[in-house]
Amino acid sequence: MTPQERNNRLNDIFFHGQRCALYDQEHQEYSKLGLGITIYFYGGGSKKGQNKVLEVFKRYKEQYGEYLNGLFAEDFQRRFIKFTPKKFDDYLEKVQTLADQDKGLSFVIGNDRWGDYADDYACETLTTSPTGESEYNQLSYLRLVFPLDWLKSAEKQQEFEDWVAYLCSTFDVFHGYAGLECVLPYGYHEWEPHEYQVATHYYNVMPNSTAYSGYREYADALKSIAWYTLLGKSLFERIDAEAWQRLVSQYSEIAITERENGVRIVKIDDLPDMGNAAEPLLLSYQALNEVLIPIRKVAPNRLHHLHDVPHFNAVQTYHWAHRWDNPNMQDGVLDQEKKEVKTYPILVEGGENVRVPYSGIWQPYNHDGETVHLEKGSLFPDVPKPEMLLAQTLWRLISRDDGGELSVLPAF
């Protein structure tokens, strides 16, 4: 990027970033635009794996301890306590017993005292247990948060990239992402509607309040692209080498770095883009999204769990997961003559008292299941689903008795 392009991008980020902010009466922030790194990785359940995670916390504390005020360890306390070096060290001693009890590690440190406001600095993890690792090959989760102002400093921006490289080199990463995110408090539920509004306006601002559940929800596929898209060796190699070669030859702003353990870091440009839905989206993001279609989660579970307010239910989450899709792009090239309008299938999230909107043939979309004819106004049936699927059945309309449309325009 040229110096002018960098200035323009920074101005854009900090101008639109104000829309992410949400304050209380004392001007403390419930929500803010920040920088984050999230990884889902193998090998986090054993004592050795949990100790490796704790080394990250030690490193984080050594570098940013002056900013840390809150500490929460789910197995040993019911609320946040005041962060002090001694309490931090005491906790590190206590958790040495977790793996012996076949328990996972759950730990949070951050600059907010009580977990009621958005952090500038935070480090949190949720690992699987030894049994979860050895018998079920379950993923573990680790997330780091940093201030948005780091983008203004070349030194701090390099520090952020060094953290990305360090985590990808240290852990057997399956997938992850790093870049802009809407940072909410530890107690995030009340602010889910705000996160939803931000994410539907800015495609490259990651809704990350429920990232801890990704170890389960995204155990077989990628959640999303970002400024940095992190891919383990198995996922990266599921994409044809020719597709990667074509991508980097078409878009010089896309760089792919391989760590010694085979984890790839795919970075787009020197600074992140907001992904403003009101403006033309950058082709580089759309092209990377197209390349990764084979390893993306087709029908992810809902990102949010509130009801009766605008939020990421299963249908909205599907729309979000496909937000970068462009039917007029093929092999990274946008066809300027083609004017196909993007549409989505008609989907309905099942559940208690959910009624069928159209008479016709319906089929489960987020798991295998038989097609069934349902009448308008009837309740969706309760059908068998995989034991590991904690979500409701997501139904897709296959055909309509009235001959009507089988697709809808995107919700955002």
Write out pLDDT tens, residues 285-301: 999 999 999 999 888 88
Checking if the pLDDT of 302 tops 90, the result is no
Q: Which residues contact 289 (CB under 8 A, 6 or more apart)?
A: 225, 296, 324, 325
User: Which percentage of the chain shows pLDDT scores above 90?
Assistant: 86
User: Which of the listed residues 334, 357, 386 is the one where a domain comes to its end?
Assistant: 334
pLDDT of residue 307: 63
93 and 153 part of one domain: yes
81 and 53 part of one domain: yes
Checking if the pLDDT of 309 tops 70, the result is no
- Residue 207: closest CA among 223, 221, 215, 195: 195
Checking if the pLDDT of 308 tops 80, the result is no
125 and 143 part of one domain: yes
- Residue 14: closest CA among 165, 196, 148, 112: 148
Q: Pick the range with the lowest mean pLDDT from 68-82, 208-222, 304-318.
A: 304-318
288 and 230 part of one domain: yes
pLDDT of residue 221: 93
Q: How far is CA 276 from CA 15, 19, 32, 279, 313, in A?
A: 12, 12, 17, 6, 22
Averaged over 16-34, what is the pLDDT?
95
Q: Residue 310 in contact with residue 193, Cβ under 8 Å? A: yes
Q: Residue 111 in contact with residue 67, Cβ under 8 Å? A: yes
Q: Taking all residues of the chain, what is their mean pLDDT, rounded to a whole number?
A: 95
Q: How many domains, the chain?
A: 2
Q: Residue 255 in contact with residue 248, Cβ under 8 Å? A: yes
Task: Give residue-wise pLDDT tens across range 88-118.
Answer: 999 999 988 899 999 999 999 999 999 999 9
Distance of CA 391 to the CA centre of its chain: 17
User: Which of the listed residues 334, 366, 382 is the one where a domain comes to its end?
Assistant: 334
Averaged over 387-407, what is the pLDDT?
92
CA-based radius of gyration for the chain: 22
329 and 348 part of one domain: no
When pLDDT is cut at 50, 70 and 90, the band that residue 87 belongs to is very high
CA 268 – CA 287 distance, rounded (Å): 11
373 and 227 part of one domain: no
pLDDT of residue 306: 66
pLDDT of residue 78: 82
CA 5 – CA 83 distance, rounded (Å): 41
Burial bucket for residue 352 (CB in 10 Å: 0-12, 13-18, 19+): exposed
Checking if the pLDDT of 388 tops 90, the result is no
298 and 243 part of one domain: yes
255 and 275 part of one domain: yes
347 and 316 part of one domain: no
121 and 152 part of one domain: yes
User: Which of the listed residues 317, 334, 351 is the one where a domain comes to its end?
Assistant: 334
Whole domain around residue 378: which residue ranges? 343-412
Checking if the pLDDT of 136 tops 90, the result is no
Task: Give residue-wise pLDDT tens across range 329-371.
Answer: 999 999 999 999 999 999 999 988 999 999 999 999 999 999 9
298 and 169 part of one domain: yes
236 and 382 part of one domain: no
Averaged over 301-306, what is the pLDDT?
80
